[in-house]
Structure 1
Amino acid sequence: MRVKKQKRHRKIVRFYSACFGFREPFKVLCDGTFVHHLLAHGLTPADDALAHLLSARALLFTTACAVAELRALGAPYSASLSAAHQLVTARCDHEKRVSAAACIESVVAGGNSEHFFVATQDGELRKKFREDGEAGGK
């Protein structure tokens, strides 16, 4: 990773630690697309890759809804499914399975009391969180 990117990431993590109470080890909530991306690009072990990115130790979490969504995608995502089963499962209070994006939104909603960083490759979800963050900061 380039030095400029690393410096920017360190600065952002320091900001969230100072202003919002994020503490080490950082909790990273991953969805199925992110787990699949890590495996497709050979970024294993994932916790080491994210620890390098955040410049601190990271714990990886997923939700039961995200695992169920990977299971529904079938055989091409079987490696991603087995990798997601190895992650710690964050509690989501859904009786019926919802989409992983909706599940992650509900877990992080309400001020993000668990202090999760969200890791996803879903462009719509990233856009939504980006807009929510900008609206909250104004």
Structure 2
Amino acid sequence: MAELATFTFILIAIIAFSMMSAYRTTTIEDNGHEMQMEISRSFQNQCPNSVQGNSCDEYLKFLIGNDIKKCCLFLNNVTKQCQCTVIQRTHDKAQKNWAADEFARKSIHDAAQSLPNDCKLSVKDWRIEGPKG
């Protein structure tokens, strides 16, 4: 009986630990106020790696004003939890495939960084990683 209780205790501890480690705290600055939100790693992995018809690819590739409307429409149809992830992945792809020099890398980085504000997304002060080369 003691072995069963020990086994149950260990099993509960493992489950609790795995659930606790599946979360991370992200600090977002919103108009000078800091907010913390828990983001589940397993949920974050649900964001698509490559999204078919990602209109932001074209915008970050050519940086043409008309393409930003299509990009914003696309981002507003992506779940709010995945918007930053999709922007980051699109940014990284653009940096890798289309940035020929430092000026292009900076232009792509700046355009991707301004997408949350330009597209009126809910996360405004999110910072993109980069510029990457």
Same fold (TM over 0.5): no
Tell which has more relative contact order, 1 or 2 (C-alpha 8 A, sep 6+): 1
TM-score (norm. length: structure 1): 0.29
Instruction: State the TM-score, normalized to the length of structure 2.
Output: 0.30
> Larger Rg: 1 or 2?
2
